[in-house]
């Protein structure tokens, strides 16, 4: 029997718009195994972001089930979901969502402190991530002093500081030029190869090409999925992707 880190069953989300019902998600069944990287693709308005928000506990489904690491997310209170988000879910957003008046180091460290780590533990994890992502020299800078690629690195470090069970990434290269996107793709691939489970929402086929499996959505439903061939030569793959972007 397969073991899944994340699983949805008949997941449905209905919004009301001027008295009319809008089905953002319709009976979505999705399962992600530990250590897997899955990309979710589809046209604008197909339900990708709604799905991501529900998986991360930022929104509630109208019906259906969400399981993360054996816990039933859709039955939790807001307070319980907040605890789960802090300890098990890392978020990486297209808009970075960094706190503008905090330094890079403080942006990364804050989630660890909120999750209950000591200052010493949080700082140790922060410094290790800064080193791994090549931005140790930016620790005292504020986000406005960084390039787009550097801010996305900070966002990735912040998402990973609590050593999440799953990393949820929403269009992680959407605001970046091709060369900077290449660096972010390399870092995501590196993170996945270290064992991190990742689910990416993207409209970029180059980003999706990094995943082991691509799920296609339309009108709130999963309509198809494709298993991609494993690629061991990461450098070659990323160079190919960069060339496709015209970099």
- The residue extents of the domains of the chain are 6-244
Q: At the fourth CATH level, which superfamily is domain 6-244?
A: P-loop containing nucleotide triphosphate hydrolases (3.40.50.300)
**What's the pTM?**
0.88
In the chain, % of residues over pLDDT 70: 92
**Span 108-139, pLDDT tens digits:** 999 999 989 999 999 999 999 999 888 999 99
pLDDT of residue 174: 83
**Span 152-188, pLDDT tens digits:** 899 999 999 999 999 999 998 887 888 888 888 888 8
CA dihedral 102, 106, 108, 111 (to 10 degrees): -100
**Span 58-105, pLDDT tens digits:** 999 999 999 999 999 999 999 999 999 988 999 998 888 899 999 999
* Stated length of the chain: 247
- Only one residue has tokens 């870092």, namely 187
Give the separation between CA 78 and CA 57, rounded to whole angstroms.
8
- Please, which pLDDT band fits residue 1 given cuts at 50, 70 and 90? low
Give the separation between CA 229 and CA 109, rounded to whole angstroms.
37
Q: Choose the most confident range, by mean pLDDT, from 10-14, 41-45, 243-247.
A: 10-14
Helix extents (H) in 74-166: 78-88, 104-114, 119-132, 148-160
């Amino acid at each position: 029997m397969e073991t899944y880190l994340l699983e949805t069953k008949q997941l449905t989300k209905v919004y009301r718009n001027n008295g009319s019902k809008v089905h953002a998600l319709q009976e979505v069944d999705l399962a992600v195994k530990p250590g897997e990287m899955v990309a979710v693709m589809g046209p604008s308005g197909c339900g990708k972001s709604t799905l991501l928000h529900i998986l991360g506990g930022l929104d509630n489904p109208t019906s259906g089930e969400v399981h993360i690491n054996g816990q039933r997310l859709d039955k939790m209170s807001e307070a319980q979901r907040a605890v789960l988000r802090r300890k098990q879910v890392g978020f990486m957003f297209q808009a970075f969502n960094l706190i503008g008046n905090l330094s890079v180091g403080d942006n990364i460290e804050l989630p660890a402190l909120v999750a209950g780590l000591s200052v010493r533990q949080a700082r140790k994890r922060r410094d290790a991530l800064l080193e791994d992502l090549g931005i140790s020299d930016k620790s005292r800078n504020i986000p406005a002093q960084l390039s787009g690629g550097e801010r996305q690195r900070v966002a990735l470090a912040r998402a990973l500081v609590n050593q999440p069970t799953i990393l949820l990434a929403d269009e992680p290269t959407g605001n970046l030029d091709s060369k900077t996107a290449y660096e972010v793709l390399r870092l995501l691939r590196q993170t996945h190869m270290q064992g991190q489970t990742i689910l990416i929402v993207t409209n970029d086929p180059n980003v999706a090409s990094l995943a082991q499996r691509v799920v296609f959505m339309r009108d709130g439903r999963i309509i198809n999925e494709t298993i991609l061939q494993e690629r061991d030569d990461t450098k070659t793959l990323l160079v190919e992707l960069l060339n496709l972007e015209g970099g």
